[in-house]
Amino acid sequence: MTGWRTLFYKEVLRFWKVSFQTVAAPVLTAVLYMLIFGHVLQDHVKVYDKISYTAFLVPGLVMMSVLQNSFANSSSSLIQSKIMGSLVFVLLTPLSHWSWFVAYVASSVARGLAVGAGVFAVTALFGRPGIVAPLWIFAFALLGAAMLGALGIIAGLWAEKFDQMAAFQNFVIMPMTFLSGVFYSIHSLPSFWQDVSHLNPFFYMIDGFRYGFFGVSDVSPWLSLAIVGVAFVAVSAVAVHLLRIGYKIRS
Amino acid sequence: MPAISFQSVSKTYPVAHGGALRALDGVSFDIEEGEFFGLLGPNGAGKTTLISVLAGLVRPTAGRVAVRGFDVQSQYVQARRQLGVVPQELVFDPFFNVRETLRLQSGYFGVAHNDDWIDELLASLGLADKADSNMRQLSGGMKRRVLVAQALVHKPPVIVLDEPTAGVDVELRQTLWQFIARLNRQGHTVLLTTHYLEEAEALCSRIAMLKAGQVVALERTSELLRAASSNVLRFKVDGELPPQFAAKARVTGRVVQLPAADAHAIERYLAGVREAGLRVEDVEIRKADLEDVFLDVMSKHGPQAVTA
C-alpha cells in the first residue's frame, strides 16, 4: 500500500483502534434517542400515513450519526495531530493536496458508514423501515458522509485549539443536523421555519436518504441530490484549496 | 549538481503590533553530494527555519532551495523523496506501535514491501525489541531513535538532522553517530544542526555558522580551527575576573578559558589575575576547539554588524 492509500489506511486504523469510542459510543447515543423520542412521541406524531414514528425516526438517526461521525473523523484527526505535532510526518512526505483530500474524506466516509450501519442495525429493532430504493440510500449516505468529511478538513485546518473545534461542532454541525428534520417532517413547522430549513443542505441529505426507505419525501430526491451534490463540490473546492496553500499547516 | 542548494533565502514573519521578524536574511550556500555538513548558530539564529524551508514546512519570502536539482516548492514531490528529515521536536503518533509507524511512513513515500529495510533500521538503532511497543510506552531516547528511523525509512540520499542529540544519553549518541557516519560513508549527504560543538567538530567536514538569519562563517572545519587563535589558557579561579579579561573569557562555574596567541598573552593573563588578588589552580594550555571558534565568530558579528 502506497501514497494516499497509506494515509487512508492510517486514518481508518486510527479510528478503528479506538472503535469503542468512535463507533460503539455513537451507536449507543442513537439508541438512547430512539428510546426517548420514539417512546414519548410514538403515539403523538404521525409524519406519513402507514409509517410509524419509530420507523420514521430510524433513517433520520442513521443519517445524523453518519454526518456527525464523518465530520468528527477528519476534524479530530487533523486538530489532534496538529496540536501534538505528529502532522509533521505527513507534511514531510511527497503526498499532494489531492492525496490528503481523498485519504481524509474516504476515511471519514468509512467511519460514517460504519457508525451508520451500526445505528441502523440496532434502531431497526425498534421500528423497521422498509427499503424501497437502496441506491438512493447509498447515494445520500455516501455523499453526505463525503461532504461532512470535507467540512471536517476545513474545520481541522482552521481550528488551532480544541476549544475552537468544539465551537464549530456545537454551533454549526449540531444545530444544522438537529434542525434538518431528523426528528420531524419540516411540513410540521411554521412556514417561516420551513423556508429556513430549505436553506440547510443537511435537510436535503436526510430527506433524500429517507426517500430510499419509504419512497416518500418532503422534496424530490433528484432536487435533494442536486443540492447535496453542489454543496459537496463547493465544500470540497474550499478544502482542496486550503490543503493546496497549506492553510495554517505550512507557514 | 549540489545535494542541497540555498540561493538568497529570506524568511520574514509578521509579528504583533505590525512589525516583522527577519528569521532568514539572504542565506546562500551549497552542500555537495556526500558531504557531512554542520549548520551551527545560537538559539534563534534561523537554523530550524532554514531546515523547515528545505523540508517544505515553511515557504520562503524570497529565494530558492533545491534538493539534488529539484526545487522544494515547484517540484516538491521529487525534492521530498530525496530528503529524510529528523525533526527537532520529540513528536509521535500515539495510535501506533513502532513497526506500524515505520510501515506507514514508508507507504507515504510510495515504498511498499519495505520490511527488510525496516528490520535493518530497527536493529541498527537498537529498536529491535521495541518493534511491537506502542509509541506512548517508549522513553524519550527510544522515541528519538524512532524519529531517526522514520526519516530514513525511504532510504533518502540526503539526511537532515535538526539537533538529534538534544537531551539524549551518551549511548544513543554513540549508536546514532556510528549509524549516520556509516550512511555518510555509503554516499548519503548529511546536514546536521547541533549545539554540541564537539560533535560537529568530530563529524562535519564543512560548517556554516548562522547568526540573526545570516551566514557569518562558511568553511571547512579544519580551516576554521586553523584560523582560530591557536591556544587556550584554562584555569580555575576563586573569585570574579578583572573586567578586561571577563569580556574575552569563556566561563563555566569556576573554570575560565581565555584565547592566548602566545606566551606573552599567557603571562599577562596570569599576572593580571594575581594582581587582582585571586588564587589560580589547575592551569593548563590546550589547542583551540570549535567552541572557541564559534564564540570568536559570534562575538565578531555583533548584532549591529549582522543587521546592517
Work out the minimum CA distance from B289 to partner chain A, whole angstroms.
35
Work out the minimum CA distance from A96 to partner chain B, whole angstroms.
8
Q: Which position has the higher pLDDT, B171 or A103?
A: A103
Sequence-ordered list of residues with C-beta below 8 angstroms from that of A215, at least 6 positions apart, any chain: A130, A132, A133
Side by side, the strands of the sheet bearing B231-237 are B250-252, B255-260, B231-237, B280-287
- Does residue A10 belong to the interface with chain B, where contact is any CB pair within 8 Å? yes
Q: Are B148 and B43 part of one and the same domain?
A: yes
C-alpha cell at A10: 492510517
- Does residue B88 belong to the interface with chain A, where contact is any CB pair within 8 Å? no
- Does residue A21 belong to the interface with chain B, where contact is any CB pair within 8 Å? no
B229 band by pLDDT with thresholds 50, 70 and 90: low
Residue A250 lies in a domain: no
- Does residue A216 belong to the interface with chain B, where contact is any CB pair within 8 Å? no
- Does residue B150 belong to the interface with chain A, where contact is any CB pair within 8 Å? yes
**Contact at CB, A92 and B83, closer than 8 angstroms:** yes
**Contact at CB, B108 and A81, closer than 8 angstroms:** no
Residue B293 lies in a domain: no
**Contact at CB, A89 and B55, closer than 8 angstroms:** no
- pLDDT given for residue B246 in this prediction: 81
Residue B302 lies in a domain: no
Residue A22 lies in a domain: yes
**Contact at CB, A84 and B93, closer than 8 angstroms:** yes
- Does residue B14 belong to the interface with chain A, where contact is any CB pair within 8 Å? no
Asked which of B225, B253, B269 is the last residue of a domain, the reply is B225
Q: What is the mean pLDDT of residues B101-114?
A: 93
C-alpha cell at B34: 556526500
**Is a pLDDT exceeding 50 seen at residue B304?**
no
State phi, psi for B297 to the nearest 5 degrees: -60, -45
Asked which of B198, B225, B252 is the last residue of a domain, the reply is B225
Cα→Cα distances A246→A97, A219, A239, A243, B40, Å: 8, 39, 10, 5, 29
Question: What's the pTM?
Answer: 0.88
Quote the number of domains for chain A: 1
| Candidates A6, A17, A84; nearest CB to B91 | A84
**Is a pLDDT exceeding 60 seen at residue B89?**
yes
Per-residue pLDDT of chain A (251 residues; tens, 9 = 90+): 778 999 999 999 999 999 888 898 999 999 998 888 877 777 666 667 778 888 888 999 999 999 999 999 999 999 999 999 999 999 999 999 999 999 999 999 999 999 999 999 999 888 888 888 899 999 999 999 999 999 999 999 999 999 999 999 899 998 888 888 888 878 778 888 888 888 999 999 999 999 999 998 889 999 999 999 999 999 999 999 999 999 999 98
Residue A124 lies in a domain: yes
Residue B44 lies in a domain: yes
Residue B165 lies in a domain: yes
Residues from chain A that touch B100, judged by Cβ atoms under 8 A, are 13
Cα–Cα distance for residue pair B125/B116, rounded to 1 Å: 14
Residue A199 lies in a domain: yes
Range of the domain at A118: 4-245
State phi, psi for A135 to the nearest 5 degrees: -65, -40
- Does residue B128 belong to the interface with chain A, where contact is any CB pair within 8 Å? no
Work out the minimum CA distance from A81 to partner chain B, whole angstroms.
8
CATH number of the structural domain spanning residue B14: 3.40.50.300
Residue A30 lies in a domain: yes
Range of the domain at B262: 229-287
- Calculate the average pLDDT of chain B: 88
Block residue for cell numbers 527577519: B22
Residue B69 lies in a domain: yes
Quote the number of domains for chain B: 2
Q: Are B148 and B245 part of one and the same domain?
A: no
Q: Are B176 and B249 part of one and the same domain?
A: no
Q: Are B220 and B92 part of one and the same domain?
A: yes
Q: Which position has the higher pLDDT, B136 or B240?
A: B136
Residues from chain A that touch B77, judged by Cβ atoms under 8 A, are 94, 96
- Does residue B93 belong to the interface with chain A, where contact is any CB pair within 8 Å? yes
Residue B29 lies in a domain: yes
- pLDDT given for residue B307 in this prediction: 34
Work out the minimum CA distance from A4 to partner chain B, whole angstroms.
7
**Is a pLDDT exceeding 60 seen at residue B145?**
yes
- Does residue B94 belong to the interface with chain A, where contact is any CB pair within 8 Å? yes
Residue B206 lies in a domain: yes
Residue of A nearest to B83 (CA): A92
Residue A119 lies in a domain: yes
Q: Are B145 and B248 part of one and the same domain?
A: no
Q: Are B136 and B37 part of one and the same domain?
A: yes
Residues from chain A that touch B111, judged by Cβ atoms under 8 A, are 2
**Contact at CB, B108 and A3, closer than 8 angstroms:** yes
Q: Are B81 and B37 part of one and the same domain?
A: yes
Q: Are B215 and B251 part of one and the same domain?
A: no
Residue A33 lies in a domain: yes
Cα–Cα distance for residue pair A56/A41, rounded to 1 Å: 11
Residue A251 lies in a domain: no
Q: Are B36 and B132 part of one and the same domain?
A: yes
Residue of B nearest to A251 (CA): B58
Answer yes or no: is the ipTM higher than 0.85: yes
- Does residue A98 belong to the interface with chain B, where contact is any CB pair within 8 Å? no
Work out the minimum CA distance from A23 to partner chain B, whole angstroms.
16
> Distance between the two ends of chain A, CA-based, in angstroms?
30
Q: Are B118 and B217 part of one and the same domain?
A: yes
**Contact at CB, B108 and A7, closer than 8 angstroms:** yes
The pairing of beta strand B255-260 with beta strand B250-252? antiparallel
Residue B295 lies in a domain: no
Q: Are B180 and B258 part of one and the same domain?
A: no
